[in-house]
Amino acid sequence: MQPLAGPLFAAAALAVVAGGIKLVRPRAAVAAIRAVGIPISGLAVRALGAVEIGVALLALVRGDAWGAGSLGALYAGFAGFTALGSHRRAGSCGCFGAAAAPAGGVHVAVNAALAALAAAAAWRPPGGLAAVLAGQPGAGVPFLMLTALVAVLLYLLLTAAPRLLAELRPA
Mean pLDDT in the chain? Answer: 91
**In 26-171, alpha helices (H):** 27-35, 42-61, 65-87, 105-123, 129-134, 141-168
- Which pLDDT tens digit goes with each residue over 133-156? 998 999 899 999 999 999 999 999
| Region label for 61, one of left (φ > 0), alpha (ψ between -120 and 50) or beta (otherwise) | alpha
User: What pLDDT is stored for residue 61 in this prediction?
Assistant: 97
pLDDT at 1 over 70: no
Residue from 107, 109, 104, 77 nearest 91 by CA? 104
User: What pLDDT is stored for residue 135 in this prediction?
Assistant: 83
Question: What is the C-alpha separation between 167 and 129, in angstroms, rounded?
Answer: 39
Q: Contact, 96 vs 159, CB < 8 A?
A: yes
The helix/strand/coil state of 165 is helix
Q: Which residue has the higher pLDDT, 92 or 13?
A: 13
SS (H, E, C) 13-27: HHHHHHHHHHHHCCH
Q: What is the CA radius of gyration of the chain?
A: 16
The single-letter code of the amino acid at 79 is A
Percent of the chain with pLDDT over 90: 71
**Which range is least confidently modeled, 51-55, 56-60, 105-109, 149-153?**
105-109
Per-domain boundaries in the chain? 5-163
Residue 99's pLDDT band, with cuts at 50, 70 and 90, is low
